[in-house]
């Protein structure tokens, strides 16, 4: 199983999280803003990225990267735009399921209901409670009836504790863990997130550690509030492939 399908469904889950009202507060959608520190480690070494992000109703996500290099990103269900203000240069890619950019799936996985990140044909194969926590296993099935693998999730009353994706051979593909949480706009948002990404066969490719601070519900719905890659008439635009 490749995990492109899951990126697409997470993008849909982001839209649901941003536009639907939580049960506890009918009529209130989530507009989340936060500062972040993202530490990544892969075969090329380690890097620390800092900036601010915002979930906008309807599924858009805006990111303003401050270090190590100034850039703005706008992710929607239709397109990904990465803009470098100092060069007035933008890279643009159409988001076509099942190929969706994965860079924010760890955040969405910590906010969305685990089952909402799967194709609708997926089946719940195990559900059990222990010590106040809920553990579930899902057989992931696409629209054509093909089995893609398995998802395992653990949840507490506060939210998702962990989420693991496996291929059909039982090899890990993605692994997420979520730390302490804060209620924002009626939803439980993790302030720390650990993510691991694996290649086919289960070899670890990349690790991420997210730390969110200054979590707030942003009531100003203008997408320009946090850098949303607004391009000018002279902005140089290039196609982006992933």
Separation CA 66–CA 190 (nearest Å): 22
Res. 50: pLDDT tops 90: yes
- CATH class, domain 4-239, is mainly beta
Closest CA to 121 of 136, 139, 97: 139
pTM of the model: 0.83
Res. 16: pLDDT tops 60: no
Separation CA 4–CA 102 (nearest Å): 8
Q: Which residues pair with 192 in a beta bridge?
A: 211
Domain map of the chain by residue range? 4-239
Separation CA 57–CA 14 (nearest Å): 9
Interval 177-235: pLDDT, tens: 999 999 987 789 999 999 999 998 889 999 999 999 999 887 654 444 556 778 888 99
Interval 17-38: pLDDT, tens: 555 544 444 334 567 899 999 9
Interval 64-112: pLDDT, tens: 999 999 999 988 777 889 999 999 999 998 876 555 555 678 888 888 8
Separation CA 215–CA 206 (nearest Å): 26
Residue 122 vs residues 22, 55, 107, 132, 189: alpha-carbon distances, Å: 23, 27, 22, 25, 25
Please tell me the predicted confidence (pLDDT) of residue 191: 96
Interval 148-163: pLDDT, tens: 999 999 999 999 999 9
| Residues making up the chain, counted from first to last | 242
């Amino acid at each position: 199983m490749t995990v492109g399908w899951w990126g697409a469904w997470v993008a849909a889950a982001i839209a649901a999280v941003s536009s639907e009202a939580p049960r506890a507060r009918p009529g209130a959608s989530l507009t989340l803003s936060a500062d972040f520190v993202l530490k990544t480690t892969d075969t090329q070494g380690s890097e620390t990225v800092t900036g601010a992000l915002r979930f906008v109703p309807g599924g858009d996500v805006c990111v303003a990267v401050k270090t190590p290099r100034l850039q703005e990103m706008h992710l929607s269900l239709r397109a990904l735009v990465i803009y470098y203000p100092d060069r007035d240069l933008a890279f643009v890619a159409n988001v076509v399921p099942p190929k969706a950019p994965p860079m924010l799936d760890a955040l969405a996985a910590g906010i969305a209901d685990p089952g909402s990140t799967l194709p609708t044909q997926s089946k719940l194969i195990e559900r059990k409670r222990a010590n106040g926590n809920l553990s579930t296993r899902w057989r992931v099935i696409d629209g054509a009836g093909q089995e893609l693998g398995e998802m395992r999730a653990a949840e507490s009353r506060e939210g998702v504790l962990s989420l693991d994706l496996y291929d059909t051979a039982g090899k890990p593909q993605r692994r997420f863990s979520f730390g302490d949480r804060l209620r924002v706009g009626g939803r439980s948002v993790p302030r720390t997130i650990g993510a691991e990404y694996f290649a086919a066969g289960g070899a670890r490719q990349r690790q991420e550690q997210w730390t969110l601070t200054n979590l707030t519900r942003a009531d100003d719905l203008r997408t320009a509030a946090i850098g949303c890659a607004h391009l000018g008439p002279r902005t140089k635009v290039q196609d982006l492939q992933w």
